[in-house]
Amino acid sequence: MSFTSFAPPPAARVAWCLSLLLLLAAATGQARASASAPTWSLSVGTHVHHYRSDPDHHERPGLLALDYSPAGSEWFVGGATFRNSFRQRSAYAYTGRRYAAQESPFYLQVTAGLLAGYRGEHRHKIPMNWLGVAPVVIPSVGVEVDRYRGELIVLGNSALMLGWGVDF
């Protein structure tokens, strides 16, 4: 399949349109001030785009993550559950830091932690996946408006994931 003839499914088009709208809203909105109270954050991962096409790849991770950040801190801890590219239930426990620019809704974020769930014939798809658990570092870029955010998450040399989140 050539890239020029590729037409994403309707749900993917909706997700990309929502991303564009969020970016446009961020261009005119204000960044959220540093939280004076502890913050919980709920995030979802809605779509994955793999760099290399493979009929075994699953593009809908169904990621659900919960993070906790102490008051006034850019550091956070969290956990996520999702279906990996091969439809295996997986989990990620991590800590991370968000690097936000003053007076800008844009930020960089990096998490580091342990990933479990790549089993059987797919266990070698994650480097250092000894005993079914592998250390990973995951960077992302995002935009936050009020308590809502959208992220583009870099999944190593394999894929990009579109994520959404809300703070409460």
Write down all domains in the chain, each with its CATH number in brackets: 3-167 (2.40.160.20)
Give the strand pairing for 75-83 and 63-69.
antiparallel
At residue 140, does pLDDT exceed 60? Answer: yes
Q: What is the rounded CA–CA span in Å between residue 105 and residue 32?
A: 7
pLDDT band at 99 (very low <50, low <70, confident <90, very high): very high
pTM listed for this prediction: 0.79
The residue ranking higher by pLDDT, 54 or 19, is 54
Helix H or strand E encompassing 91: strand 89-100
The pLDDT-based confidence of 35 (bands split at 50, 70, 90) is low
pLDDT-derived band at 102, boundaries 50, 70, 90: confident
Q: Rounded CA gap, 75 and 33, in Å? A: 15
Nearest to 161 by CA among 22, 23, 26, 59: 59
Cα–Cα distance measured from residue 59 to residue 157, given in angstroms and rounded to the nearest whole number: 16
